[in-house]
Amino acid sequence: MPPRPSTSISSAFARLSLSRGLQTTAPLPPPTTPLPPSDIPSSSTSAALAHLPPILPSSSSSSLTTLPNSTSEAISLISSQSTSSSGRYVIARLYSRNYLLHPKDILTLPQLKPIQAPGSTLSLTKVLEVGSRDYAIRSQASNAAILKRSMNWKSKRLSSFEGIPEGLVDCNLTILEHTKSPLERILKKKRRKGYKKTIEHKQGYTRLRVGDILLKGEKEI
């Protein structure tokens, strides 16, 4: 049975020495570098976890007890946490795909036809969701089950789109350029048939810059 040391810090070290596999249980020499601050080293677990970030309290200031009553209330909650140019995101539907966009992002899509001159803007009309860090306004369309139900497989269109009502969110995309990818050489071959061909392909792309996400009532700077 090893002798019990007197001080609490040395006792912690003694217990550690057993786990480290040291031959002795004598108190270790004083550390050369300063130890992390520990207020009450009552148990070894609390001392070990003292340097970790504190856990979020269950009832944080940003968690809502009741949902807002009106849309303007919801908008003000989002505005309190973000500005039109930062801290806000929008999930918009473009050419049958959903994109999570922030202001100043660059979206690269296959070349959009008809080709519009660089500098022209396209507005996002099909918006599923807009939000900031802790709050978001979601629509029926952001529910995958409802969105899938509205997909008409025969006409390849949505029969109805229950997104965020128009006028609530205003976000534009600016066409930066129409480019092409580097040349791709696709080799096709069938064995023992003398069939061999090379297909050269350059995919055209349109690059778009996401503008500010303006909520209802906000003016563009």
Q: How many residues does the chain have?
A: 221
Site string for another protein, 47-86 (x = CB under 8 A): --x--xx-xx-x--xx-----------------xxx---x
Distances (CA, A) of 2 to 5, 24, 25, 66, 165: 9, 9, 7, 59, 74
Q: Residue 23 has which token pair?
A: 């031959």
* Contact flag: residue 123 with another protein (CB under 8 A): no
CB of 70 to another protein, least distance (A): 21
Distance of CA 128 to the CA centre of its chain: 16
Binding span for another protein by CB under 8 A among 1-9, 21-29, 111-119, 156-164: 111-119
* Contact flag: residue 42 with another protein (CB under 8 A): no
Distances (CA, A) of 24 to 13, 17, 31, 35: 11, 7, 17, 22
CB of 32 to another protein, least distance (A): 29
Q: Which residues pair with 173 in a beta bridge?
A: 122, 210
CB of 175 to another protein, least distance (A): 8
The DSSP annotation for 4-31 comes to: PPSSHHHHHHHHHHHHHT-S--SPPPPP
- Contacts with another protein in 160-219 (CB under 8 A)? 174-182, 203, 205, 207, 209-212
Binding span for another protein by CB under 8 A among 16-24, 109-117, 158-166, 187-195: 109-117
Give the type of residue at 22: L
Q: Which residues pair with 29 in a beta bridge?
A: none
Binding residues vs another protein (CB under 8 A): 45-46, 49, 52-53, 55-56, 58, 61-62, 80-82, 86-89, 99-109, 115, 117-119, 131-134, 174-182, 203, 205, 207, 209-212, 221
